[in-house]
Amino acid sequence: MERLQALHFPRNFVVLFLLGSLALGSLLRLMNLDVSSIWIDELNHYYAATSYNETGEMTFPSGQPNARAKLYSTLVAYSFKIFGEGPVSVRLPSAILGILCIGITFWVALRLLGKHAAMISALFVAISPFAIGWSRLSRMYTLFQALFMLAAYWFYLGFESQGRGRMAVLQDKLFYQLKLGRFGAMLNHLRINIFWLLAAAFALYLAYGIHETAALFVIALIFYTGVMTFAVPVIDGQLSLRFFKYLIVAFGLSLFLFIGYNFVPFIAEKIKFGLAFIPKWAEGTHFQNRKLYLEFLFDQYHFPMGILFAFGAIQIFVRKNQAGLYLLLIFTAYFFLFSAVFSYRHFQYLFCVYSIFTMIAAYAYSFFVEFEIINIKKYWQIHSPLIKRYLVPGVLVLSFFWLPLTHSVRFALRIPRSADGNYNGAQFMEEWREAGAFVKKEMKPDDVIISSDALGTLHYAGKVDYDLNFADYDLSKEEGFLNADGEYFDLYSGVPYITESAQLEAMRNQRKPVWLLFQSYKFNRAKAFITPELKDYVLNNFEKVLDTQNGTVVVYKSL
């Protein structure tokens, strides 16, 4: 049967398709970057960058070290130097990296799954609300995804080397000069290239510095080499040298984890912490639901990607696509570990392998389009040279007629134009800008400011005196954050906590106006952030003076 990859594409069509996907993805990621308030987690990088530019150290306003994802915060610092501080410049590195991830997805899919799957996967990533949402937030996840995908791709090039390209020539020259020609020949026979493996190790090291879930790549490799250990004898019909390569790696990595867990305290602590970790605020929430990822990937925001992914997985096995199997097992490892092993899961933990999800969905879609192109060429009598020339790209483009009809694409197109306080594809944004501006305008210098999100209030109101958030309080107790007065203080803002209604009563007795800014969800629905006693006290002794436009932040003032 005629393969789509062999069908004719007009010159430069693939380049134009990629550029179109990049242009659309860029528009959705860069347009109106300042439409929403800076999310509380974004402020971590905001203040890490400002302190780095001012002092050379990354700290919170509390003075505590702000060491998470330093590489990303450094990019934000450079953005501030060039464009000044603000909501656009703090998000710009993530947006640019999100655009870069479209290109990386295309490149990896092109090399491992083919030209057609590469074009479709680039488009799928460009219009994915999940990918757009994280690209429009100043968080490290787009950088993490870019580094992780490069590491995974380079590892495959090194572990399944075809003996071609500059790296292959470089390896041959190296071992020839070292007079280790036989060893080099053995590596070539095993399809191993050490230079690609070193590049993969470096990218994975950087990725681990961004987010520790990069270490789960080891489990993914055990999945892949374990499956190949059983598959190679069936494919080769004998116990070839390739079989022993997979067996040694699968057994070696498994042994490494076993020894590390049982005899190396540092590794054991990391594993045990990861298995048991769950923030107090997430206890009893849907983040403990083991079907969270399954429901997420098959929800309305991903339709029909989840179905296409399932078909793509089947096609990988049916067509014995080794590169596709490698990608599928990396995704499966992360999906399985967070769904079945770890106690806590969050959507962004799947983001590093999300591009693989789109690639496999695109792989399935490419075969559907191929089948129709072949049928058209078989049953239609086409004599026009012009139609013959543009048949393949024309059918490919027309096959996407359904995209604007899907909820996910219509939602993706609305994201840059959504008002503050809406869901952006990754997070439900909160209107701290509106609430902070209101309090800043109405308050007097001696007024007391209390907030459930002290750092956000400090940023937008210019002042905060107390934190009323028991999730933050529990963290401070666990870490032992005590100020000079022996009070626990907020890691981020440095202010002490309100833990009892008696504290609020004492402030009211001093006749000083007390303002309370609270995220509506944390005040009205969640149980981990405010006690029933404090909530009742606020409702009975404070007046609601502001409900933000989309109801995400509420402001109370003492009576």
pLDDT score for 537: 97
Counts for the chain of helices (H) and strands (E), in that order: 25, 5
> At which residue do the structure tokens 């007024």 appear?
447
Angle of CA points 228, 234, 238, to nearest 5°: 100
- Plot region of 69 (φ>0 → left; ψ -120 to 50 → alpha; else → beta): left
- What is the C-alpha separation between 254 and 262, in angstroms, rounded? 12
Structure tokens at 438: 């209101």
Which tokens hold the place of 365? 């879609």
Q: Which of 216, 100, 110 is nearest to 153 (CA)?
A: 110
Structure-token pair, residue 246: 């997979």
Q: Which residues of the chain are under the pLDDT cut of 70?
A: 1-11, 388-389
Burial bucket for residue 423 (CB in 10 Å: 0-12, 13-18, 19+): middle
**For position 2, what pLDDT does the model report?**
41
Contact 47, 60 (CB under 8 A): yes
- Say whether 374 sits in a helix, a strand or coil: helix
**All residues at 6 or more sequence positions from 108 whose CB lies less than 8 Å from its CB, including other chains:** 149, 152, 153, 355, 359
Tokens standing for residue 225? 């080499």
φ, ψ (nearest 5 deg) of residue 268: -60, -40
What pLDDT is stored for residue 357 in this prediction? 98
Encoded amino acid at 526, one letter: A
pLDDT at position 507: 94
**Extended beta strands in 463-521, E state:** 466-467, 514-519
Query: What is the structure's pLDDT at 429?
Result: 96
CB-count exposure of residue 262 (10 Å: 0-12, 13-18, 19+): exposed
Domains of the chain listed by start with CATH number: 430-558 (3.40.50)
Structure tokens at 406: 């899907």
Q: How far apart are CA 75 and CA 90, in angstroms?
A: 9
What end-to-end distance do the CA atoms of the chain give, in Å? 79
- pLDDT reported for residue 284: 83
Please give the structure tokens belonging to residue 419.
Answer: 């008002």
- Short-list 228, 262, 92, 82, CA closest to 156: 228
Q: Which residue has the tokens 């999800």?
A: 357
DSSP annotation of 415 reads G
448-451 sheet: strands from edge to edge: 466-467, 448-451, 514-519, 553-558, 542-547
Strands 514-519 and 553-558 turn out to be antiparallel
Other CB atoms closer than 10 Å to residue 332's CB: what's the count? 18
Model confidence, pTM: 0.95
Measured distance CA(174)–CA(171) in Å, rounded: 5
Of 390, 296, 384, 411, residue with least CA distance to 348: 296
